[in-house]
A and B are shown apart, each in its own frame.
Chain A
C-alpha cells in the first residue's frame, strides 16, 4: 500500500473522529439559558400552545415582560400537545429540562416531581398565590407549590345551535335520556350528533369520568384519587352507564381513528366546520376551533356555539352539578434563574395578562379577569363553575401517570368494542395498574 501517511497518523485521525462523535452525542441540547455575568438571563419556555390565539397571547406577554424587564429574554419552543409529554419526560430524565415548561398539575405533576428536577416555588409565590383561590392548591404536593396555573378547565358539551335548531331541538339536554333523545333527532336530520377524538384515547375517558362523577359521591371520588383505586361499586356502575349510552351509537363514522384536535378532520374540526353537532371537550375547545377553521368562518360561527354541562343521570347518587376539569400552568426547573422564572409566572397571572388569556377563549386562573371572558358560551361555563360545589380533576391526570394511561386505554378499548367488552374491564385495568405503583 503506497501512502505517505503513517499508521500513527491513522490512529490520530481515528481517535479524533471518535472523540468528535462522542462529544457530539454527549453534547447538551442547551435548553437552559441561565445567567450571564451581566445579569442578563434567557428563559427557555416549552409549551403546548403552538397555535393562535394562545400562542399569540404568550408572544405578546413575553414581549411586554421583556420591555419592563430588559434583562430577561425568552426562547419559546411551541410543541404539539400530543408530542409534548414524551419530550418533557426525556428532558426531565436527562437533567436537561427547560427553565419554564407547560404543566398539567395533579398526579401527572406528582410523577414528574419524583425526578427532583422541578423547583419548589413556594418561597417565591406564597405571598400572592392565594389570589387564585382553591385551584392553586391542586398544584401543591406536600404543601410545596411545584407549578402555577394560568387557566382553569371545565369539561362539558360544546354544541352548534344552528344544527340543534335544524334538528328541531329547542333547548340543550339536562338529563341523559334527553341527550339520547336529541341524538336520535339529530340522526334523523342526517347530522352527526357527537364527534369524539377516540384515536387519542383521553377524550373517551371524559365520558367514563363524568359517569363516575355522577355515580360516586364526592367523598368516594376523593378517596379513590387518594388511595389510587376504583374498587367502589359506583365506578363499575359508571361502566354500565357508558355501555347504555354507547348503545345509542352517537358518534361520527370511523370515530375510532379520529384525532381530537389535529387537523380539520379532527373531532374539534368537525364541530368547528359544522359537520357534527356536539363534542364533549374542555373549555379550550373554542380556541382549538379558531385554529382549525378560516378566521372569517370562525367570526360568523361564534354565535352558533353553545355549551351545556354533562347531563344528570337519573337515579345516580352522585352530585348532578359536579364538574370535571383541571387547569393548565407552568413549572420551573431547578436550574431556572431566579427570581426571573417565578416572577414571570406571577406576571402570567396578573390581571392584565389574564385578560389576554381570557380573550383567547380560555377561562383565566385569576378571578379578577373573569369579566374579560367574551365568548357567550364561555360565560355559560363560568356560570356552571360558580354553580358547582365540586370539580373533579380529570381522573387520568389525577391518578399517577401509569394508572391514568391504563384508564384511557381501557376506556378506548371499551369504545372500540362496547358490546363484547365487559363493563368491569375499566375498573380491573385501573386496579391492575395501581398495583404497579
Chain B
C-alpha cells in the first residue's frame, strides 16, 4: 500500500506543487520521477501494456482496416471498398435482427434474471441448515463450461427428450414445443438456458454484496419496529445498489457477446431466429469467407459494446466508483 500511495500521489498531484523553480530560460520542467519509480512503472505496467496492445488494441485496428476491403482471407488486400462493408452490415436485416436478439436477451436478463437472482440471494443470505450446500448448488451451473451446458441442454430439449417427457409427466404435455426448431420461440429457449447457467453468478455476486451490509443497520431498524419487508425494501435493497449496478453492467456486456451456447445449440438458426451479432460475424467471416465483411461486423459489434459500456460507466457506475479509488489511498 505504501508503494501504491507513492505512485498515486506522484501521478495525481498538480505539477506545479512539486515542480522545481522555473529555469532561467523560463521553461518549466516536468517533475522528474525518481529513477526507481520509473523502473517500477515499466516493470509493473509494461507486460500488461504489451499484452493489451498486442492482443486487444492491435486486433481492433487491424479488423477496422480489413473491414475496408472486399477480401476472402486469401491473397493480398487489393480490393479497397471504403466503408461499403460497414454500410452493408448496418443495412442487412439479418444483422439488425441479430442486434435485436442481443438486446432482447439483455432486457430479459434485467427483467427476469435480476429479480430471481436477488430473491435467491436474499433467501440464501439467511442462516439456515444446508445453506452452503444450496449456495454451491445454485453456483454449480456457472462452473460448467458453456460448451458442456450447450450439449447438455441440446440433449434435454430434443423432441421427445427429457424436458418434453417431464412436462408430460406433470400434466403440461399440451405446452410441449419444438424448443429449438420453432423460429418464434428458439430465442426464448436460449434465454432459459442462459439463465440456468448464469443465475449462479448473479446470486454469488449479490450474496457478497449482502454480506457487506452491516448487520447493525438491520438490527437498528428492527429495534425501531420495522417489519422484515420494510427492512429489505428500505435498507437492504438500497445498500445492494452498487452490486446490482455492477451485475447489470456485466450482464449487459455478456448479453451482447452471447455466442458459444447459440452456436452449439442452433448455429443461429432456424432462419436466423436465434442469431446474435457474434454468430453473424462468425458466419460471414469463417463460413462464408468474407473476412472483410466479417471484420466490419466485428468492428460494429465492438463499437456498440464500447459505447453502451462507456455510457453505462459514465452515467450509472460513476456514482459508485467516483472518488472511491482515490479516497482509498488518501
Contact = CB atoms under 8 A, between A and B. Distances in A.
Interface of A: 1, 7-8, 10-11, 14, 17-18, 21-22, 25, 85-86, 89, 92-93, 111-117, 198-201, 253-258, 265, 401-402, 405-406, 409, 412-413, 415-417, 421, 433, 436
Contact of B270 (A256, A265, A406): A256
A199 B269 CA distance: 7
Contacts of A93: 73-74
B39 A8 contact: yes
A98 B286 CA distance: 19
Given A14-B43, A14-B46, A17-B47, A253 B159 contact: yes
8 A-B pairs closest in CB distance: A416-B271, A256-B270, A115-B74, A254-B181, A7-B39, A114-B74, A256-B181, A257-B180
Given A111-B289, A199-B266, A199-B269, A254 B39 contact: no
A404 B272 CA distance: 17
Contact of A416 (B75, B265, B273): B273
B178 A401 contact: no
Contacts of A111: 72, 74, 289
Given A10-B39, A85-B287, A112 B74 contact: yes
Contacts, number: 121
B77 interface: no
Contacts of A253: 159, 178, 181
A416 B73 CA distance: 31
Contacts of A112: 74
A85 B178 CA distance: 29
B72 A257 contact: no
Q: Which range holds the interface residue count of chain B?
A: 35 or more
B47 A18 contact: yes
B75 to A, nearest CB: 4
A415 B288 contact: no
Which of B46, B186, B289 counts the most chain A CB atoms within 10 A?
Answer: B289
Which of A10, A256, A257, A413 counts the most chain B CB atoms within 10 A?
Answer: A257
B36 interface: yes
Contacts of A22: 50, 54
Contacts of A1: 2-3
B326 interface: no
Nearest to A7: B39
Interface in B264-294: 265-267, 269-273, 283, 286-290, 293
B42 interface: yes
Contact of A254 (B43, B159, B272, B286): B159
A21 B51 contact: yes
A198 B51 CA distance: 42
Contact of A265 (B3, B158, B272): B158
B219 interface: no
Contacts of A412: 269-271
B146 interface: no
B269 A256 contact: yes
Which of A112, A254, A413 counts the most chain B CB atoms within 10 A?
Answer: A254
B45 to A, nearest CB: 10
B40 interface: yes
28 contacts: A7-B39, A8-B39, A17-B47, A21-B47, A25-B54, A86-B286, A93-B73, A111-B72, A111-B289, A113-B74, A115-B73, A199-B270, A200-B267, A201-B269, A254-B181, A255-B181, A256-B181, A256-B182, A256-B270, A256-B271, A257-B186, A257-B265, A257-B269, A402-B72, A402-B289, A402-B290, A405-B289, A416-B183
